[in-house]
Structure 1
Amino acid sequence: MATPEERIVPTDLRNEMSRSYLEYAMSVIVGRALPDARDGLKPVHRRILYAMHELGLTADRPFRKCARVVGEVLGKYHPHGDTAVYDALVRMAQDFSMRSPLINGHGNFGSIDNDPPAAMRYTECRLQSLSSDSLLQDIESETVDFADNFDGSQQEPVVLPSRLPQLLLNGSSGIAVGMATNIPPHNPGELIDAVIALIHTPEISTAELMELVPGPDFPTGGQILGRSGIRDAYMTGRGSVTMRGVANIETIEQRGRPDREAIIITELPYQTNKAGMIERIAEMVNERRLDGISDIRDESDRDGMRIVIELKRDAYPRVVLNNLYKQTPLQNNFGVNMLSLVNGEPQLLGLKPMLEVFLDFRIETITRRTQYELRKAQERDHILQGYLIALANLDAVIALIRAAADTPSAKQELMDIYGLSELQADAILQMQLRRLTALEADKIQQEHEELVARIEDLEDILARRERILEIIVTELGELKAKHDDPRRTVIELDEGELTDISLIANEQVAILVTDQGYIKRMPVASFEAQSRATRGKAGAKMREDDAVQHFITCYTHDHVLFFSDRGVTYSLRAYQVPEGSRVARGVPIVQMLPIPKEEVITSVLAVREFTDEDYLVMLTRGGYVKKTALSAFSNIRTNGLIAISLEDGDHLRWVRLARTTDSLLIGSRQGMTIHFKADDDQLRPLGRPTRGVRAMNLRDGDELISMDILPSQVVEAVIQATAAGQASDSDDEDDASGGENGPWVLVITASGLGKRVPVSKFRLQNRAGMGLMAIKFRKEDDALAALLVVNEGDELMLITHRGIIIRQRIGDISIQSRPATGVRLQRLDGDDAIAAVAVVPPTLQDAEDAEDSEVNDDETGAVVEAE
């Protein structure tokens, strides 16, 4: 016997550690953590399902104790802890964990509140019909390979003959050594359609498959925001999918108490613990990290989930809901990592490669099943042929058997005389006497003929690939008819994706912002043109202490820039502004933008593209003006971007889009205007955090109320008119010559009077001058409300402080000189006054047709004038 010293084998520590760790890592990767791409199962799940199949626990059989199943799996196939097996069994029975549960559980199998399941000695289980139909069907037909179990006493399947892409259907998650997998569940009907499409069109692209499989379909429903993460996952195998619960804002009626607004949550993101989420919300409310919540309770029952979050009276529901999305698990991400085993090796697969792996496996399964059925049919027909030979020589065969000394000699004589095989001779000797009747003989002949046809059909299937694909399509159709169900998860548009914008009609809309911070969007088409001097229609349901502050027209694809009095700019797409009817008040703008309470929106501007040729011209109430490149505002952060530096007590008031060849027209409340160029001599470009220069010299008690931009061609016309002596400071009211074809300066007073004045009547001056008179007021208490540049074909939309809107054609307004008093544009009630004026440019198609004749892109956003 060797001594202990002789049994010591010297080895290099580095090599031993490397080899041992590699063996351990591969054991975990292949034997525990990663699913097989063919049937989508890990070994523990596969062993549980196969053990239940062997126990006969099908969907039409009685339930059996889970402890019995766990014991079967442990004793025969899975030499690990019983907790691991039972946990895997429980998860396959949870309808909130599996998109299509594989096990039918009876008893307490846990809940979405993370309650633990009952002990295995109490719960019962059996297979779902889906498991028998799609995973275990044909397993006895030699469709898959079997291998020895851990002690060699049993055989277990290496993979199950899955008829559905189970890996995508129910997903999978697992952490191996140095790698992990996280695959989301999908809708069964969509997956079946995708596989059928791949069969019919093998060269189909992933983008085309995404039309059939738009994204994951989680068992708990919820929403998915955007498609970019889904696209990345399906293209590359990795991506991040943003999940969001379903929440609605409702008004709860309370007896004896005022009605309260409440947020009702009916669906949660996948794998979100409901009780844990409620507890976290309560903690954040107590710690004052969430404002506006007065009570939270869980009203879920057997009919569905219902979490009620009651709000305080002064809370904005949309703001609270946005904070819940941002700070709680009501919105979280699912990191997709579609890693699985292909031929025993871990591979990262996109959508199409994963379906191709499944389809190849399904073709192999059908082929092996057909070969098995062919062999069985041939073996049976071989026996039947022996029967037919015996029946054809019945008397001689009976005499031979009776004369034989024993069974071996009779078998040998049958083989020698009639050329039978050993199997056929044994079958004849074991044949019962009743099979010798004429009726039984006919049955044998009929069965033989049927088997011959069956063998020919099976051989044809093996010879032609298209026959195998037809079988796969037929079986998939049967599964879809039996197990398909509607999609549960809704894929919502992500506001920042261009692909989603292309799905939104680019129509002309009006955006309205009130003094108290309410905003809404309305189609311009909902306001028909009216004649001059009418009262108009309601454009917003206004409170007595509220008034319209800003009013613009644009297109739904445009960027809408909001500028606050403190010089900060925020951005939204026009289609992101909630649409409302003419009589709707709108939604608080603080629900759309993170505007501090002390800030007020003072200017709204629509921008189609952030080009290098365009500039933003900003004018403050204190009279400072500056020009900054529009490209500096192309990436506005969520919390805003500084647009201008202000002196103490000053406020940003007007912002317009211009080019260096354009000019500025600025008006004051007392009816004075100044017109100067926007070139670098008069207004050099400055960066964002700068103050600007003086724009206009005002009289005592006067203040700025308006700014608009004149395009370069108009500027040239004014220069030529000035040189020819046409532009003057004349007070002659009839002097309105030279302005029949536009453009014009539209002058509107607060009392509803207005006129068009040829731009040639406003000569160019140097910046910081006193300016020229734009209108003569009929009443001493009247004031200038709007000063806009308009063109032929434009339409006008006026809105009063009370929310009355009228739409008019520019051509209906008379052309007058600067000192003229104007004509009545809108009849006003009582102390109502014009609050804002917007120009509606021609439709988008008309603008495109006339693109060559346009000299300025400023018509994408209409001018806003309001006090």
Structure 2
Amino acid sequence: MFDMARRTTAPPPEDFEERIVDIDVSSEMRTSFLEYAYSVIYQRALPDARDGLKPVQRRILYSMSEMGLRPDRGHVKSSRVVGDVMGKLHPHGDTAIYDALVRLAQPFSMRLPLVDGHGNFGSPDDLPAAMRYTEARLAPAAMLMVESLDEDTVGFKPNYDGQETEPTVMPSAFPNLLVNGTTGIAVGMATNMAPHNLAEVVAAARHLIKKPDATLDDLMRFVPGPDLPTGGMIIGLQGVRDAYETGRGTFRMRATCTVEQITPRRKGIVVTELPYNVGPERVVTKIKELVTSKKLQGIADLKDLTDRHKGLRLVIEVKNGFIPEAVLEELYRLTPMEETFGINNVALVDGEPRTLGLRELLQVYVDHRIEVVRRRSEFRRRKREERLHLVDGLIVALLNIDEVIQVIRSSDDSSHARTRLMDVFELSETQAAYILDTPLRRLTRYDKLELDREKQTLTDEIAALTEILSSDAKLRQVVSGELADVAKKYGTPRRTVLLEASGAPRAAFVDLQVADDPCLALLSSTGLLARTSDAAPLPGEGERAAHDVLVAAVRTSARGEVGVVTSFGRLIRVQVIDLPILPPTENPPTLSGGHPVSEYVSLQPGEKVVGLGSLDPDGPGLALGTAQGVVKRVVPEYPANRDEFEVITLKDGDTVVGAVELESESDDLVFITSGAQMLRYQASQVRPQGRPAGGMAGIRLDDGARVIWFGAVDPTRPALVVTVAGSSTALPGTQVGGGKVSDYAEFPPKGRATGGVRAQRFLKGEDELLLAWAGPAPAKAVSAVGKPVPLPEELGRRDGSGVRLTHTIGAVGGALASWERPASSPSARPTGDAQDEPPA
């Protein structure tokens, strides 16, 4: 055992014998530590279970009330409040006082703020401004805490220097500890209590007042769980029940999120509510850290759009190809968007720290409130009895006004007059003194009537207060009624959603990406791009489709790529996952929900999209036809590190008029010229060439003619040829023209680079084809804006004349429903059994 010698530091007088006191170190440390622990527990860290306030909070509210900083008054500097509290009541630093003041004013910390702050009082991520820059006053709810302080409802004690007094507890007209919660770290213990909904807590307290033997299950019908100021979700109610039963428990808090279409091409996760005590900056920082370290995939962008008008709004943009719901689960797992809250209901009860469940917390408050109302009723009855005693004396004086005046005039002094009034009229000393102090103008006949009414009022009020004090049931009824009024005035709807725990263990790894299912990439005549899903039907028959026609369809997969071919001979890569999915409920589906091709590729002036390619290295490849009659089959060896490249070298003035992904080398390549010539031959007659090649002769053109349509047709299936003739001198799109529909089989195949056969005979005023198309039957025509246009009946002769049309045709498409859905690979060919009758 060590000893410590404590010596005085000042030099002793000459006649003073030096004394050394030996103190046991362990005993001294034990005593000092216990004193320090006691001070922290009782004077700083733990709240009182009755009013839910720590000493510093109670002193702030009391000082602001004494300063007159009520809700109907102006704000004052926070530093003035802090200085008044520190100088009179709280012998600690100004920082601790201001921190407590700030928390009382923060709506994201308190479910029902008690201080109305003006200025920057901080956020879940940022500290508040200094006290010299902010202003404060009591919030309306704080008046419930301090009301009736002057009616002897609670006890008072001297302050730290004995010159002032302060309340030992607040009257607290609502259960502040449960409504606003608290947190604090003491010595050897801590408290962490969650906020609750005022209306729910009041309903439970009123039920406990009515039925003192109510069980926890009865009370949880009114208080199912915490209601956090920041909203969000609570997952796992078993931990909440444990806390309500034993005072300790845990639950998980989750952010409130929705999956929305952020841009026409991408979805995102929108966060509108975060867990309690979690700020958006903390979430943003964590997400950036996870994305940088590649621990979280699928995040394309993150924006914090929070403002004071719309509130919290974090927009997390999800990359195409990733499932937003799966990404959200990873965010819950890896970021503060899901946090755990540990309830530890430690509070002071009769000066001792105790761990309390829900029923005990409510019982302590109810007992306190009953005592407050009882003391208030006693005070009010006492004051009314005192006033009634004075009123009785005044009435006696009025009834004997002449004698009273005579007694006063004949008395030597006020003391003598008081004594004679007491003797003559049998008044008490208080009554006699009050009569002497009353001005003569109050002793009129009218005042007699007022005094009679006041006496009756006082008598009724005293009887009512006596009834309250003499009946415990009546007293409880008054407390319950006052709580109901508070809930009606200050109650708000629940903000936090309560969810039962799923019970299923959370997977350590979640597949975030969309499955690489087979699909079709589609291009419409009006320039819309889309894709089919695995559940969606293929586009239906041409005459039944409600809008637009499909001019290209390429087999691919959801995570694959397709190439957009332009009239300048460029091929531009497009991610299939970026394309919108056709709704599976549409039968037949249309491209009305597709996105314009301009959202995916940047076109030069005069350049337009003419087709799609699959980029499949194992397929037959891409076939191109130009306006000058050049044909080319491209070897499917495309550079993997380039998003766009040329697939043909064009001559000056030449453009690509058609591009198609071949299904097989047995498909026919078809040219239709402005001179009404049509040529078809097998694709096998064209040798594949590399990308820089310029192609070979595809069709021999007459003087002045040009190719207006190029494509591929499966000769084994029913097909049609549609042509529209008109005048070359008319403005484009202004003439209707004459249309003709012919059977594709009527046109015999010819050799490559020949002139072909006539497709339509011109009538008077017609000198060229305005539009042409060949493809699988039945055919469908639409206007330039995608509206259906009727076609004439099929004509048996291939070189016959056309029929005058009723509307201008902008594009023609065929029945892609006859194509079989891709099964195992994008290059799968349809079977030959169902070629004659396309499925519905």
The TM-score range, normalised by the shorter chain, is 0.5 to 0.7
Preserved contact between residue 34 and residue 42 of structure 1 (Cα < 8 Å): yes
Give deviations 1:575-609, integer Å, cap 9, x for gaps.
xxxxxx9959xxxxxxxxxxxxxxxxxxxxxxxxx
Q: Distance in 1 between matches of 2:199 and 2:81?
A: 31
2:277 alignment partner, one of 261, 271, 282 = 271
Q: Does 1:52 align with 2:58?
A: no
Preserved contact between residue 123 and residue 279 of structure 2 (Cα < 8 Å): no
Q: Does 1:125 align with 2:132?
A: no
Q: Does 1:466 align with 2:473?
A: yes
Could you say which residue in structure 2 is the equivalent of 1:423?
430
Structure 1's unaligned 5+ residue stretches are 499-513, 519-537, 548-580, 585-828, 836-867
- What secondary structure, in the 3-state scheme, does the structure 2 residue paired with 1:150 have? coil
- What secondary structure, in the 3-state scheme, does the structure 2 residue paired with 1:60 have? coil
Q: Report the Cα offset of residue 830 of structure 1.
A: 9.5
Q: Distance in 2 between matches of 1:489 and 1:362?
A: 28
Return closer, same or farther for 1:542/1:14 CA change in 2, 3 Å cut-off: farther
- What secondary structure, in the 3-state scheme, does the structure 1 residue paired with 2:360 have? helix
Q: Distance in 1 between matches of 2:438 and 2:187?
A: 61
Could you say which residue in structure 2 is the equivalent of 1:383?
390
Give deviations 1:407-444, integer Å, cap 9, x for gaps.
11111111222222111110011111112111101111
Return closer, same or farther for 1:468/1:5 CA change in 2, 3 Å cut-off: farther
Structure showing greater radius of gyration is: 2
- What secondary structure, in the 3-state scheme, does the structure 1 residue paired with 2:131 have? coil
Q: Distance in 1 between matches of 2:384 and 2:537?
A: 84
2:119 alignment partner, one of 107, 111, 114 = 107
Q: Does 1:178 align with 2:188?
A: yes
Could you say which residue in structure 1 is the equivalent of 2:526?
none
1:246 alignment partner, one of 244, 252, 256 = 256
Preserved contact between residue 251 and residue 261 of structure 1 (Cα < 8 Å): yes
Q: Distance in 2 between matches of 1:402 and 1:274?
A: 82
Give deviations 1:793-833, integer Å, cap 9, x for gaps.
xxxxxxxxxxxxxxxxxxxxxxxxxxxxxxxxxxxx99799
Return closer, same or farther for 1:225/1:50 CA change in 2, 3 Å cut-off: same
- What secondary structure, in the 3-state scheme, does the structure 2 residue paired with 1:295 have? strand
Q: How does 1:449-460 map to 2 (within 5 A)?
A: 449-460=456-467
Q: Distance in 1 between matches of 2:392 and 2:419?
A: 18
2:496 alignment partner, one of 489, 502, 525 = 489
Q: Distance in 2 between matches of 1:175 and 1:41?
A: 14
Q: Report the Cα offset of residue 97 of structure 1.
A: 1.0
Q: Does 1:63 align with 2:63?
A: no
Preserved contact between residue 198 and residue 204 of structure 1 (Cα < 8 Å): yes
Q: Report the Cα offset of residue 355 of structure 1.
A: 0.2
Q: Distance in 2 between matches of 1:128 and 1:219?
A: 16
Q: Report the Cα offset of residue 381 of structure 1.
A: 0.9
Percent identity of paired positions between Structure 1 and Structure 2: 47
Q: Report the Cα offset of residue 496 of structure 1.
A: 1.4
Q: Does 1:192 align with 2:174?
A: no
> Amino acid of the residue matched to residue 94 of structure 1?
Q
Return closer, same or farther for 1:159/1:542 CA change in 2, 3 Å cut-off: farther
Q: Distance in 2 between matches of 1:60 and 1:231?
A: 41
- What secondary structure, in the 3-state scheme, does the structure 1 residue paired with 2:214 have? coil
Q: Distance in 2 between matches of 1:377 and 1:88?
A: 39
Q: Distance in 1 between matches of 2:201 and 2:293?
A: 46
Preserved contact between residue 209 and residue 352 of structure 1 (Cα < 8 Å): yes
Give deviations 1:173-213, integer Å, cap 9, x for gaps.
00000000000001111111111111122222112211211
Preserved contact between residue 398 and residue 444 of structure 2 (Cα < 8 Å): no
Preserved contact between residue 539 and residue 583 of structure 1 (Cα < 8 Å): no
Q: Distance in 1 between matches of 2:409 and 2:273?
A: 80
2:299 alignment partner, one of 268, 289, 293 = 293
Preserved contact between residue 537 and residue 584 of structure 2 (Cα < 8 Å): no
Q: How does 1:5-84 map to 2 (within 5 A)?
A: 7-84=19-96
Q: Report the Cα offset of residue 298 of structure 1.
A: 0.6
> Amino acid of the residue matched to residue 119 of structure 2?
G
Q: Distance in 2 between matches of 1:4 and 1:74?
A: 41
Q: How does 1:144-223 map to 2 (within 5 A)?
A: 144-223=154-233
Q: Does 1:480 align with 2:487?
A: yes
> Amino acid of the residue matched to residue 376 of structure 2?
R
Q: Distance in 1 between matches of 2:16 and 2:464?
A: 68
Q: Does 1:334 align with 2:341?
A: yes
Q: Distance in 2 between matches of 1:201 and 1:268?
A: 37
Q: Distance in 1 between matches of 2:500 and 2:200?
A: 20
Give deviations 1:673-697, integer Å, cap 9, x for gaps.
xxxxxxxxxxxxxxxxxxxxxxxxx
Q: Distance in 1 between matches of 2:396 and 2:346?
A: 59
> Amino acid of the residue matched to residue 269 of structure 1?
P
Preserved contact between residue 226 and residue 497 of structure 1 (Cα < 8 Å): no
- What secondary structure, in the 3-state scheme, does the structure 2 residue paired with 1:61 have? coil
Q: Distance in 2 between matches of 1:111 and 1:443?
A: 57
Preserved contact between residue 251 and residue 341 of structure 2 (Cα < 8 Å): yes
- How high is the TM-score relative to the length of structure 2? 0.59
Q: Distance in 1 between matches of 2:381 and 2:110?
A: 37
Q: Report the Cα offset of residue 450 of structure 1.
A: 1.4
> Amino acid of the residue matched to residue 29 of structure 1?
I
- What secondary structure, in the 3-state scheme, does the structure 1 residue paired with 2:431 have? helix
- State the number of aligned residues: 520
Q: Distance in 2 between matches of 1:281 and 1:216?
A: 28
Return closer, same or farther for 1:546/1:5 CA change in 2, 3 Å cut-off: farther
Return closer, same or farther for 1:342/1:542 CA change in 2, 3 Å cut-off: farther
Preserved contact between residue 290 and residue 323 of structure 1 (Cα < 8 Å): yes
> Amino acid of the residue matched to residue 269 of structure 2?
I
- What secondary structure, in the 3-state scheme, does the structure 1 residue paired with 2:438 have? coil
- What secondary structure, in the 3-state scheme, does the structure 2 residue paired with 1:239 have? strand
Q: Distance in 2 between matches of 1:72 and 1:457?
A: 40
Preserved contact between residue 49 and residue 348 of structure 2 (Cα < 8 Å): yes
Q: Report the Cα offset of residue 159 of structure 1.
A: 0.5
Q: Distance in 2 between matches of 1:309 and 1:348?
A: 41
- What secondary structure, in the 3-state scheme, does the structure 2 residue paired with 1:147 have? strand
> Amino acid of the residue matched to residue 284 of structure 2?
I
Q: Distance in 2 between matches of 1:515 and 1:398?
A: 106
Q: Does 1:86 align with 2:64?
A: no
Q: Report the Cα offset of residue 301 of structure 1.
A: 1.3
- What secondary structure, in the 3-state scheme, does the structure 2 residue paired with 1:11 have? strand
Preserved contact between residue 540 and residue 583 of structure 1 (Cα < 8 Å): no
- How high is the TM-score relative to the length of structure 1? 0.57
Preserved contact between residue 178 and residue 193 of structure 2 (Cα < 8 Å): yes
Q: Report the Cα offset of residue 167 of structure 1.
A: 0.3
> Amino acid of the residue matched to residue 98 of structure 1?
M
Q: Distance in 2 between matches of 1:121 and 1:515?
A: 59
Q: Report the Cα offset of residue 384 of structure 1.
A: 1.1
> Amino acid of the residue matched to residue 82 of structure 1?
D
- What secondary structure, in the 3-state scheme, does the structure 1 residue paired with 2:294 have? coil
Preserved contact between residue 263 and residue 310 of structure 1 (Cα < 8 Å): yes
Q: Report the Cα offset of residue 455 of structure 1.
A: 1.1
Return closer, same or farther for 1:8/1:452 CA change in 2, 3 Å cut-off: farther
Preserved contact between residue 249 and residue 342 of structure 2 (Cα < 8 Å): yes
- What secondary structure, in the 3-state scheme, does the structure 1 residue paired with 2:202 have? helix
Q: Report the Cα offset of residue 5 of structure 1.
A: 6.1
Q: Report the Cα offset of residue 539 of structure 1.
A: 11
Q: Distance in 2 between matches of 1:439 and 1:261?
A: 81
> Amino acid of the residue matched to residue 438 of structure 1?
R
Q: How does 1:547-562 map to 2 (within 5 A)?
A: none
Q: Does 1:404 align with 2:411?
A: yes
